Structure 1
Amino acid sequence: MPDPTSLSSAAHVYKRLVPQPVRSVAASTVPGRVRRKVKRGLARTLSQREARLHRRALRRVRKADFGHSERRTKAPDGRVGHVHTGLSVDAARRLDHDLVTHALDTADIPWFAVPALDDRRLCIAVEQRDKGAVRRALRALLEEHTGYVVSVSPANNDTQAIPGSHVKAWKHFGKARVIRLTWLRTDPTENLWTGEDQGVEIEFWTVNTDLPQERLIGPRPNRVQRAVPSDAPGIEMGLDRLSGYCDTDGDMEPTITLEGFDVPRLEEITFPVDAVLLWQHPTPWGEELLRAALRSLHQYAPWVDVVHVLAQAPVPSWLRSDERLSIVPARPGAEWDLHRLPDIADHFLLLRPGALLGRPVRPFDYFAPSGATRPRKGPWTAEESFSAWTRAAYTATGRVTAHGYADGPQPYSCAVLERIARTGAVPLELIDGQRTPVVPGTHPMDGLVHHCGYVAGLADPSGEASVALHAALPGIDNHLRRLLVRRDTQQIRLLGLGTEQALGRGGTEAVITFLHRYFPVAAVFEQGDPEEPDNQS
C-alpha cells in the first residue's frame, strides 16, 4: 500500500489537475472503484518519482563525503548517537551547521543564516518554493548521518524518536513553517552528550510582492528583523554574531547571511572577556579542581579570550603558558589586585578553586552590553548581615546591603576594583573554601566588590540558580549524581575537599569521580597527556 505521504501528495495533485466542476461530475457519474484506482496509480507514480529523487540526493551527499563520526552508539533514550574524540559543545554546534549548509549547497539550494529566537540554536532560512528540494536534501543527509527532525512551527515533536531517514519522520513537514534537525553526539566515554538543546532550525521564507520592492518574509520573529529585501546582498558573518554561545575566534569558518542582519543584537557583548583562575592547593585534589575549571571553560565558555592562572604555588607540569593561557606568580591575598594583572581585559570571570560552569553560558549571562557586571544573588541570613564585608561595604559606599551573593564563577571589572582601591578600603580576610568545615556565606571580596559596583551603577545583580556543595556533606553521592544526570545548573561550587571530614568519609574521592564524569574531555589548555592524579590528599 502506498505510504500516507504519497497518498496525500496524490490527492493534492489530483485536486490541482482536475477542476472542481469536473471533480463534482466525476463524483456522481464515475464509479468509486475507478476513482480510487486512478488515485492509487497517481500515488504510485509520485512515490516512484520521490524515491528516484531521494536516491539522487543521497548520491550527492555521499559524494560530498563530509561530517563523518568515529562510530555510532546508542544514547540513553535509545536513539542513535555519534562518537567524537575531543568533543565540545561549540564544535558540535559548528558541525551541525556545516552538515546542513553543505547538504543545501550540494543540492544547489540558496540559503542564508538568521539570528534565531533561541540563542542556543543556529537557524538557516530557505525560500518556500524550495521546500520540496530541501526535504529531499535533508532526508538524504539524515540517512547518511543519522539524526532527527521535528516540526517547530506549528510545534509537534512526536517524531523526535524516529530517524530522519524514515518517511514517517517527515509526516508534519507539509504544514511546517519551521523544522529542527538534531544530531546526538558524545565523547568516547559517553559521559558528555550534546545535541538535544542545540540543532539547526530551518525556516521557510515566503516572497511578498505587495510593495514596489520585493521582500522575503520570515515565518516567525527573530532578534533582528522579519522582512528583508529579496535582492539583499549576502555577506560573511562569524557564528558568534548569531549565537552568544559560540567561540569568538576569528580563524573559524564564517557563515553566510544577508546584509540586513549585520546589526548588533541587544544582548551582544562586543568587548573581550578573560578568565582568572586561582591556584592555591598543590595537592592531587587541587589539581583536579584546576583541571575541571579549565575544562568547564573549554566546554561551556569558548568565548573567553585569555585564561590567567594566578599561581600561589608551583603549577602542575601539564600546565604551560601559551597565547591563550597566562601563568602569573602571586602571593596570598593577591585577589585584591586583579586589576593590576598584566594584559588583563577590563572584564573577566574569577574562578576560585571549586568554582565551575555546569552548562553552556554566554557573555551576556555575566555582563551587560554597557559593561556592567551581572553577579548572582545569594541567600541572606542574620549572621551575614553582621559580617565583616557588610560593614566594609557600608563604609565604602554609605549604602546598606540587602542581599548576599552566590558562590561560583564571579563576573568582575577592573573599573570597580580600581574604584575600591581609590577609596583606601583595607582588604578583608579571605576565606579558603577548600579548608572550611561548612559552606560559607558570601565571599568577603565578592560581597564588597559587587555591592560597590551596584551602588556605582556598574553591576546589576541577577537571580540565576547556583549550587554549592561541601564534600563532607552526608549523602554527597546522591547530590553529585543528580547534578550529573540533569546537567542543568549554570554555576557549581564544590567546597571542603581538603577538610578531614571529607577526606575521611570519602567525600573528596566522590567529588573527584564526579569531575571525571562531568568533564571527560581534555581542554585545549592541558599540554601533553598528563596522568590522572591520585585521589588522595
Structure 2
Amino acid sequence: MSDPTSMSSAANVYKRLVPQPVRSAAATTVPVGVRRKVKRRLARTLSRREARLHRRALRRVRRAGLGGSERRTQAPDGRVGHVHGGLTPDLARRLDHDLVTQALDAAEIPWFAVPALDDRRICLAVDLKDKGAVRRVLRALLEDHTGYVVCVSPAHNDTRELPGSHVRAWKHYGRAKVIRLTWLRTDPTENLWVGEDQGIEIEFWSTNTDLATERLVGPRPNRVQRAVPSDAPGVEIGLDRLSGYCDIDGDLEPTVTLENFDVLRLEEITFPVDAVLLWQHATPWGEELLRAALRSLHQYAPWVDVVHVVAEASPPDWLVADDRLTVVRARPGSEWHLSQLPDLAEHFLLLRPGALLGRPVRPFDYFTPNGATRPRRGPWNAQESFAPWTRTAYSAAGRVVAHGYAHGPQPHRVETLTRLAATGVAPLPLDDAQWLPAVPGTHPLDGVVHHFAHTAGLADPSGEATVALHAALPGIADHLQRLLVRRDSQHIQLFGLGTDEARARGGTKAVTSFLHRYFPVPSIFEGGQDPDGHDEADNQP
C-alpha cells in the first residue's frame, strides 16, 4: 500500500471522501474482507496516479536543463556528493537556490524568498495549497540531482541519510510546516565539503481571511514579519540582503521576495569592508601563509570589497594586482600607519602572517551597523597587565586596560588609527611572531588601538576567540588534523613557522601540508598555479 503518512495516501483520501458517520457505519455493517479489498484497490489507483505525476514532474525538471556537477562521489559519511571546481560556500548556496527556484518555476509554482532567522540558509515560501505539487517536483529534482530532505518543523532528522528520491525520505512531509533540502558538494580534491549546514528551506504559508485584507501567514517567525498582504508586489533582491554570508557583488543573479521584506534589518551592514594583509616573509612557508590567507578570504568572506597587500618584503610573482587586489610596498612597522594606505575603506579587516578565517563569517561578526568595530577579546593575566602596550594604551585613553585581545583577523577603522595618531603616542616596536619561540600575548597594535577605540565609543569588544598554535608545539600534527576534521573554528592563528625548533620537529612541514588541505581551492587573487610540492617549503628559513 502507499505510504500512510503521505498526503495522498489511501487512508487520507478515504477519510477525505467518506464522512465520519458513514465510516463508522461501514465498520459495523460492511465485512472486513470487502473493506480491505476496497482499500487495496484505492491504494493501487493512488499509487499509479502518484507514479504518473512523478514521471511528469521528472520530465519537467529534465526539460528545464538545470545545472549539474562535474561528477558524483561518495561523502565521508557514505552519502552522495557532487564535485565542483572552484567551490566556495557562497557558490554552493547559489547553486542550491537556483536548482530549487528553477524547479519550482518549471512546475509553475509561485514562490518568494523570506529573510529567515538563520541566515546560513536561503528560505523560500510557497502557498500551502501547492504542497502536493511541491513534493512531486522536489522529489523529481532530488532524483535528477541527488540530495537529501529533512523536516524542520516539526523537527525530524531521521531521513537525512536517505536520498530525497526515495518515498520513505518524505514520510514526515504530510505534517511538515518547513522542510530543508541539502546537497553535499566538494572540490576536486575532496578536502573541502560544503552543504551540511546550508541548504534551502521551504516554508508553507497559509492564507488568512479573518481581516478585511487577505493575508499570507508564515509557519514560523522570520527577521521581518510573519504575516504579509496576499497581494503584496514582488521585487528583486540580492542574496546578500537575505544572508550576511553572501557576496555583495551586484552583478550576480538576484532572487525574488515581497516588497514587505525589502527593508534594512538591524544586523545588516551597508558600508564597504576591505581587508589588509601583511606580507613580511619572502620564504616558501611565508608564501603559503599569504596564499592561505587569500584563500580564506575568498572562501569565507566573499563580501570583502578590496584586498590590500602591504608588502614589507618583495611580493611573490603569482600575486597580481587588479581591481580587487592592490599591492603596496612599505617599510617594517607600516601597520601603525595603515590609515595612510591609498583607497583603503573606512572599515577593514587586518590579517597578519598566519591569521586565517576557518569558516564562513559575516560583516556583522566584526562591525556594528553604526560602524563600531567588534574586536575579539583575548585572555588576561599578570603578563598582559604589565606588557608595554597596556601602559601605552593607558597613556592614549586615560583609562586602565581590563582585558587583552585575541590573535587572528581583527577589525579596524581608519578613523580610530587617525585619532590615535593625533594623540602623539609613539608606536611600539613589533616582534615578528613567526620567529618567536612561543605564542605571544596581545599584539601591541591591537591592544592599543582597540582599547583606545573602546574608550572613545568606536569599538564594542566581543566575538569568538581564536585558535592559536605554534608550529613547534609537540603533537602539532594532531592539533591540525583536529582542525581539519571539525572545521568549526572561526579564526586560526599560526605562529613560529620560521623557528629552528619548528623546522627540526617537522612543524613547518605539518603546517604547510595542513594549509593545502584546509584551503584546496585557488582564490581569485592568485595569478599563478598552486605549487606541486611542499618539500622545499618545509626546510627553508
TM-score by length of 2: 0.98
Contact 1:223 1:265 in 2 (8 A): yes
Q: Describe how 1:330-341 pairs up with structure 2 within 5 A.
A: 330-341=330-341
Q: Show the counterpart of 1:273.
A: 273
Q: Show the counterpart of 1:135.
A: 135
Q: What is the identity, as a one-letter code, of the residue corresponding to 2:195?
A: G
Using the alignment, how far apart are the partners of 1:231 and 1:432 within structure 2? 62
Q: Describe how 1:33-72 pairs up with structure 2 within 5 A.
A: 33-72=33-72
* 1:265-309: CA deviation from partner (whole Å, max 9, x where unpaired): 111100000000000000000000000000000000000000000
Distance 1:499 1:210, change over 3 A: same
Contact 2:389 2:447 in 1 (8 A): yes
Using the alignment, how far apart are the partners of 2:242 and 2:406 within structure 1? 30
Q: Show the counterpart of 2:496.
A: 496
Q: Show the counterpart of 1:439.
A: 439
> How many residues matched?
537
Q: Show the counterpart of 1:184.
A: 184
Q: Show the counterpart of 2:264.
A: 264
Q: What is the identity, as a one-letter code, of the residue corresponding to 1:120?
A: R
Using the alignment, how far apart are the partners of 1:250 and 1:131 within structure 2? 33
Q: Show the counterpart of 1:485.
A: 485
Does 1:391 find its partner at 2:391?
A: yes
* 1:475-521: CA deviation from partner (whole Å, max 9, x where unpaired): 00110011000000000000000011111111000000000000000
Q: Show the counterpart of 2:198.
A: 198
Does 1:209 find its partner at 2:218?
A: no
Q: 1:212 is paired with a residue of what secondary structure?
A: coil
Using the alignment, how far apart are the partners of 1:103 and 1:115 within structure 2? 21
Distance 1:488 1:397, change over 3 A: same
Q: What is the identity, as a one-letter code, of the residue corresponding to 2:341?
A: L
Q: Show the counterpart of 1:344.
A: 344
* 1:325-361: CA deviation from partner (whole Å, max 9, x where unpaired): 0001111111011111110000000000000000000
Does 1:364 find its partner at 2:367?
A: no
Q: 2:433 is paired with a residue of what secondary structure?
A: coil
Q: Show the counterpart of 1:407.
A: 407
Q: What is the identity, as a one-letter code, of the residue corresponding to 2:487?
A: R
Q: Show the counterpart of 1:253.
A: 253
Q: Show the counterpart of 1:468.
A: 468
Contact 1:150 1:169 in 2 (8 A): yes
Q: Aligned-pair distance for 1:395?
A: 0.6
Does 1:287 find its partner at 2:287?
A: yes
Q: 1:516 is paired with a residue of what secondary structure?
A: helix
Distance 1:467 1:185, change over 3 A: same
Contact 2:6 2:173 in 1 (8 A): no
* 1:11-43: CA deviation from partner (whole Å, max 9, x where unpaired): 111122112222222111100111111111111
Contact 2:368 2:374 in 1 (8 A): yes
Q: 1:235 is paired with a residue of what secondary structure?
A: strand
Q: Aligned-pair distance for 1:98?
A: 0.3
Q: CA RMSD in A?
A: 1.0
Moved over 4 A (4+): 5-8
Using the alignment, how far apart are the partners of 1:404 and 1:183 within structure 2? 41
Q: Describe how 1:204-243 pairs up with structure 2 within 5 A.
A: 204-243=204-243
Q: Show the counterpart of 2:107.
A: 107
Using the alignment, how far apart are the partners of 1:117 and 1:31 within structure 2? 53
Using the alignment, how far apart are the partners of 2:85 and 2:91 within structure 1? 11
Contact 2:152 2:176 in 1 (8 A): yes
Q: Show the counterpart of 2:375.
A: 375
Using the alignment, how far apart are the partners of 2:424 and 2:268 within structure 1? 35
Contact 2:365 2:463 in 1 (8 A): no
Q: What is the identity, as a one-letter code, of the residue corresponding to 1:342?
A: P
Contact 2:7 2:132 in 1 (8 A): no
Q: What is the identity, as a one-letter code, of the residue corresponding to 1:515?
A: L
Distance 1:102 1:272, change over 3 A: same
Q: Aligned-pair distance for 1:528?
A: 3.5
Q: What is the identity, as a one-letter code, of the residue corresponding to 1:309?
A: V
Distance 1:6 1:262, change over 3 A: closer
Contact 2:8 2:46 in 1 (8 A): no
Contact 1:285 1:497 in 2 (8 A): yes
Q: What is the identity, as a one-letter code, of the residue corresponding to 2:324?
A: R
TM-score by length of 1: 0.99
Consecutive unaligned residues of structure 2, counting only runs of 5 or more, are none
Q: 1:174 is paired with a residue of what secondary structure?
A: helix
Contact 1:6 1:46 in 2 (8 A): no
* 1:152-187: CA deviation from partner (whole Å, max 9, x where unpaired): 000110000000000000000000000000000000
Q: Show the counterpart of 1:14.
A: 14
Q: 2:175 is paired with a residue of what secondary structure?
A: coil
Does 1:515 find its partner at 2:519?
A: no
Consecutive unaligned residues of structure 1, counting only runs of 5 or more, are none
Deviates more, 1:37-46 or 1:493-502: 37-46
Q: 2:174 is paired with a residue of what secondary structure?
A: coil
Contact 1:318 1:530 in 2 (8 A): no
Deviates more, 1:38-47 or 1:125-134: 38-47
Using the alignment, how far apart are the partners of 1:427 and 1:485 within structure 2? 40
Q: 1:434 is paired with a residue of what secondary structure?
A: helix
Using the alignment, how far apart are the partners of 1:9 and 1:154 within structure 2? 20
Q: Show the counterpart of 1:310.
A: 310
Q: Show the counterpart of 1:458.
A: 458
Q: 1:286 is paired with a residue of what secondary structure?
A: helix
Distance 1:25 1:491, change over 3 A: same
Q: 1:356 is paired with a residue of what secondary structure?
A: strand
Contact 1:6 1:47 in 2 (8 A): no
Q: What is the identity, as a one-letter code, of the residue corresponding to 1:249?
A: D
